[in-house]
Amino acid sequence: MREINIPSLGGSVHRVPGAVHLLPTSGATWDGWFAIGIFPAGSTLRWAKAHFFRKGGPAGWHPLSAVECLVESEVMLSWATDDGVETFTGKVDPGPLESSTDSVRVSLPGRFALAGSRPRYGMSFSLPESGSGASFDFQASWPIWWARYGRLLSYVGQHSTLRLTLWRGETEETHAGFGVIEHVSGTSLPFDFTRRLPFGYHWDVLAFHTPGGRAESAAGLSISLKGEPFLGLKAAARLPGRNEVPMRGLSLRYLEFAQGTRPDGREFLVPASWEGVMRDSRGEFRYVARAATPVAPVLPGGGFLGFEFEGAYHHPYRSSALWSGTGFTEYADFSGELAR
């Protein structure tokens, strides 16, 4: 596994969570570390996502992370170009992690390593089964707390600038863009709750790729009921030239669909274009997104998808200039209704 070498830079960034929020959560039955990269239009690489998930807790219990198809300890790496997508997953032994509060260090030797000191962190993932791996070098800028309920469920993402090194076999490439470094942890339930609720979700991360290292971006989560967008759960944005603000969730409307086929031959719907709205106390950010990559069909009824977007912030008395950028979507449908 290629070693992370991130210097201890010290200092801090306004409102960026401390090291404790990247370390394993005491009392939680599982932890996950995620790394996402989103790259400008015209890049040979459109997006990349990697995770290390470690499951604990009672045998036979179901972690809340099952909504993202994370039920067993594993390392995953997925990426997309304009024309193709590749995904590799390797099961791992959920044994003890090596961790330290001296700066931030968490590792599963040979598979995963997290190291750094805010605002700079590195994550490295290795899948020797496929000869592939990735190192993400993040400069964290601003956070979104998706959940903050202690050992029950805790989920924070830090929006960042990113330098990614991706390799497969002897081939290695480096890309600069926007990134999100995430840590999530929580509890487990004694039953498979994903089979009892007719819900789904759609999560958008939008990157404006503006200069200056401010990681100007937006992200929002929408919940669906029986295949129909139902509730904008949470959102936040740092729009170009503005400070980050909380939003009232992502209101979503699908405009077009394409047909996708899963590896097992089952068909499912892939959003081809959609409209999103995130509102704050003064106005709304409204955008139209169009799929720009094939889908990685890794979630129930859905998967990972890259897109391009155009949007503007609308105030009762004026509107902003039209902004554009690229993004990354995760969507899932546990009800089966989206396919109809």
DSSP for 123-155 reads EEEEETTTTEEEEEEEEEEEEEEEEE-TTSEEE
Phi, psi at 301, each rounded to 5°: 65, 15
pLDDT of residue 11: 28
What's the whole-number mean pLDDT along residues 308-323?
91
- Domains of the chain, earliest start first: 19-189 (2.40.370.10), 197-333 (2.40.370.10)
Q: What is the pLDDT confidence band of residue 8, given thresholds at 50, 70 and 90?
A: very low
| pLDDT of 284 strictly over 60 | yes
Q: Which range in 1-10, 87-96, 159-168, 222-231 is most confidently predicted, on average pLDDT? A: 159-168
Can you give the pLDDT at residue 316? 83
- CA 103 – CA 138 distance, rounded (Å): 15
Q: How far apart are CA 155 and CA 177, in angstroms?
A: 23
CB neighbours of 186 closer than 8 A, spacing ≥ 6?
Answer: 25, 28, 29, 30, 63, 64, 65, 147, 149, 151, 152, 153, 154, 155
Joined tokens for residue 231: 């509730």
pLDDT higher than 50, residue 220? yes
Which residue(s) pair with 333 in the sheet? 200
Average pLDDT over residues 176-200: 90
Q: How far apart are CA 209 and CA 40, in angstroms?
A: 7
1 pLDDT tier (thresholds 50, 70, 90): very low
Report the amino acid identity of residue 36.
Answer: I
pLDDT band at 102 (very low <50, low <70, confident <90, very high): low
Distance of CA 51 to the CA centre of its chain: 9
Q: How far apart are CA 248 and CA 305, in angstroms?
A: 23
Judge whether residue 339 has pLDDT over 70: no
H/E segment holding residue 303: strand 302-314
Q: Where are the beta strands (DSSP E) in 169-216?
A: 171-186, 188-189, 199-207
Express as a percent the part of the chain with pLDDT over 70: 92
The yes-or-no verdict on residue 25 having pLDDT over 50 is: yes
List the 171-186 sheet strands across, edge first.
85-91, 74-80, 47-55, 30-38, 171-186, 153-168, 132-148, 120-127, 112-117, 104-108, 98-100
Task: Say yes or no to pLDDT of 340 above 70.
Answer: no
pLDDT for 36 equals: 99
Q: Has residue 6 got a pLDDT over 70?
A: no
